[in-house]
Amino acid sequence: MSTPPYLVTFNFDQFALEYPEFATVDPVRAQSMFNIAQLSILDNTGGSPVKSVSTLAELFNMLVAHMLTIFGRVAPAGANNTPIGRMSSATQGTVNVSFEYKIPEGSALAAWFNTTQYGAMFWVATARFRSARYMASGSSGIGRSHAYGASPVVIPGL
């Protein structure tokens, strides 16, 4: 995929080294998941709060693994299909296990990301990028708020 000046280009060989459970996935399918991720989930044009290209590449690889697991209905060879969360209950006769993964309320996306171990890693890794920054002006504690990609909000009298 091309057009805007993208910072990260998907490298299937590197992805397969980091996530060997997906080594047998068709590289075209993996590239497709990367394309969808950069179009709809993570900014790849430099406007992202993620300024490190290597961090951005790692985040994209987590997203590709997450999306391949969900959309590809992939059960890759040797995959670690460990459920996310802690085991909250278990039975032995006729086997019954329940898992619980509590996350703070506030985002409809959290539930979607936490459906796979890769999405959960992405969600945790991007927590610091999902909030506005507050910059205090002097020692008064009065300042301004700045959301990524938006112009600063100026508080009158500062």
Regarding whether 70 and 138 lie in a shared domain, the answer is no
Grouping H, G, I as helix, E, B as strand and the rest as coil, residue 143 is strand
Residue linked to tokens 């985040």: 59
Q: Tens digits of per-residue pLDDT, 29-48?
A: 999 999 999 998 898 888 88
Q: How confident is the model at residue 74 (pLDDT cuts 50, 70, 90)?
A: low
How many domains does the chain fold into?
2
Is 2 domain-assigned?
Answer: no
CB 76 within 8 A of CB 86: no
Q: How confident is the model at residue 65 (pLDDT cuts 50, 70, 90)?
A: very high
Which ranges of the chain does DSSP label H, i.e. alpha helix? 12-18, 27-40, 53-71, 108-113, 117-125
For residues 117 and 74, the model is more confident at: 117
For residues 18 and 131, the model is more confident at: 18
For residues 97 and 137, the model is more confident at: 97
Which has the minimum average pLDDT: 56-70, 86-100, 139-153? 139-153
For residues 70 and 75, the model is more confident at: 70
Regarding whether 157 and 115 lie in a shared domain, the answer is no
Q: Residue 53: is its pLDDT beyond 70? A: yes
pLDDT on residue 88: 74
Q: Tens digits of per-residue pLDDT, 146-155?
A: 555 555 556 5
- The per-type count for the chain, helices as H runs and strands as E runs, is 5, 4
Burial class (CB in 10 A: 0-12, 13-18, 19+), 104: exposed
Q: Give the residue numbers spanning the domain of 140.
A: 132-158
Regarding whether 114 and 45 lie in a shared domain, the answer is yes
- Measuring CA to CA, which residue among 116, 8, 20 is closest to residue 72? 116
List all residues 6 or more positions away from 144 whose beta carbon is below 8 Å from its beta carbon. Answer: 134, 135, 137, 152, 153, 154, 155, 158
Is 3 domain-assigned?
Answer: no
Q: Residue 141: is its pLDDT beyond 60? A: no
pLDDT on residue 139: 52
What average pLDDT does range 89-103 have in this prediction? 77
DSSP secondary structure code for residue 23 in this structure: T
pTM score: 0.65
Is 1 domain-assigned?
Answer: no
Mean per-residue pLDDT of the chain = 77
CB 12 within 8 A of CB 31: yes
d(CA 59, CA 123): 9
Is 4 domain-assigned?
Answer: no
List all residues 6 or more positions away from 98 whose beta carbon is below 8 Å from its beta carbon. Answer: 87, 88, 89, 90
